[in-house]
Structure 1
Amino acid sequence: MHCAVFMVVTISYFFWTDAVNHYNKDENKALKYLIEPPVYAEIKARRGENATLPCVLRTVPSHYRVKWSKVDSLNTAAKNIVLISNGHEVKHYGTWQSKASLRRMHALDISLRLTKLELQDCGLYQCELINGIDDEGVTITLSIEGVVFPYQSSHGRYKFTYFDAKKACAEQDATLATYTQLYREWTDGLEWCNAGWINDGTVHYPILNPRPSCGKDLPPGIRSYGPRDKTKEHYDAFCFTSTTKGSVFFVPGRLTFLEAEHACKEKGASLALVGQLYSSWKFLGLERCDGGWLQDGSVRFPIITPKKRCGGVPQPGVHSFGFPKKTISSYGAYCYIVINDH
Structure 2
Amino acid sequence: MRNKEHYTDYEKKNGPRLVVEVDQAKVISHRGGNATLPCKFHHESVSAGSLSHKIRIKWTKLTSDYLKEVDVFVSMGHHKKSYGSYQGRVYLQGSSANDASLVITDITLEDYGIVFPFFPRLGRYNLNFHEAQQACQDQDSIIASFDQLYDGWRSGLDWCNAGWLSDGSVQYPITNPREPCGGKNIVPGVRNYGYRDKDKGRYDVFCFTSNFK
TM-score when scaled to structure 1?
Answer: 0.40
The 3-state SS of whatever aligns with 2:29 is strand
The C-alpha deviation readout for 1:224-252, integer Å capped at 9, x for no partner, is: 444553467975322122344xxxxxxxx
Asked whether the 8 Å contact 1:50–1:113 carries over to 2, the reply is: yes
Asked whether the 8 Å contact 2:162–2:171 carries over to 1, the reply is: yes
1:69 to 60, 64, 68: 60
The C-alpha deviation readout for 1:266-296, integer Å capped at 9, x for no partner, is: xxxxxxxxxxxxxxxxxxxxxxxxxxxxxxx
Post-superposition shift, 1:54?
2.0
The C-alpha deviation readout for 1:276-330, integer Å capped at 9, x for no partner, is: xxxxxxxxxxxxxxxxxxxxxxxxxxxxxxxxxxxxxxxxxxxxxxxxxxxxxxx
Post-superposition shift, 1:39?
1.6
Describe the shift of the 1:106–1:148 C-alpha distance in structure 2 as closer, same or farther (beyond 3 A): same
Describe the shift of the 1:218–1:168 C-alpha distance in structure 2 as closer, same or farther (beyond 3 A): farther
Post-superposition shift, 1:107?
0.9
The residue that corresponds to 1:54 in the other structure is: 38
How many residues of Structure 1 are paired with residues of Structure 2 in the alignment?
181
Equivalent residue letter for 2:32: G
The 3-state SS of whatever aligns with 2:207 is strand
1:87 matched to 2:77? The reply is: yes
Describe the shift of the 1:223–1:91 C-alpha distance in structure 2 as closer, same or farther (beyond 3 A): closer
Paired with 1:38 and 1:148, the residues of 2 have a C-alpha distance of 29
Equivalent residue letter for 1:57: F
**Residues 226-265 of structure 1 mapped to structure 2, 5 A cutoff:** 226-227=191-192, 229-230=194-195, 235-242=203-210, 243-244=212-213
1:109 to 76, 99, 112: 99
Paired with 1:217 and 1:93, the residues of 2 have a C-alpha distance of 43
Describe the shift of the 1:231–1:35 C-alpha distance in structure 2 as closer, same or farther (beyond 3 A): farther
Describe the shift of the 1:240–1:85 C-alpha distance in structure 2 as closer, same or farther (beyond 3 A): same
Describe the shift of the 1:226–1:99 C-alpha distance in structure 2 as closer, same or farther (beyond 3 A): same
Asked whether the 8 Å contact 1:150–1:192 carries over to 2, the reply is: no
Post-superposition shift, 1:99?
1.9
Paired with 2:195 and 2:52, the residues of 1 have a C-alpha distance of 47
Identical amino acids, percent of aligned pairs = 27
The residue that corresponds to 1:31 in the other structure is: 11
Asked whether the 8 Å contact 1:119–1:241 carries over to 2, the reply is: yes
Post-superposition shift, 1:158?
7.4
Asked whether the 8 Å contact 2:159–2:173 carries over to 1, the reply is: yes
Asked whether the 8 Å contact 2:73–2:81 carries over to 1, the reply is: yes
The residue that corresponds to 1:303 in the other structure is: none
Paired with 1:160 and 1:74, the residues of 2 have a C-alpha distance of 29
Paired with 2:76 and 2:182, the residues of 1 have a C-alpha distance of 58
1:204 to 164, 172, 189: 172
1:171 matched to 2:137? The reply is: yes
The structure whose RCO (Cα within 8 Å, separation 6+) is larger is: 2
1:100 matched to 2:85? The reply is: no
Structure richer in helix, relative to its length: 1
Paired with 1:37 and 1:238, the residues of 2 have a C-alpha distance of 34
Post-superposition shift, 1:70?
3.1
Asked whether the 8 Å contact 1:70–1:82 carries over to 2, the reply is: yes
The C-alpha deviation readout for 1:30-89, integer Å capped at 9, x for no partner, is: 53435253523x53433232111122223267233222233343684362x332211334
TM-score when scaled to structure 2?
Answer: 0.58
**Residues 146-185 of structure 1 mapped to structure 2, 5 A cutoff:** 148-151=116-119, 157=125, 167=133, 171-172=137-138, 173-175=140-142, 176=144, 177-181=148-152
**Residues 8-19 of structure 1 mapped to structure 2, 5 A cutoff:** none
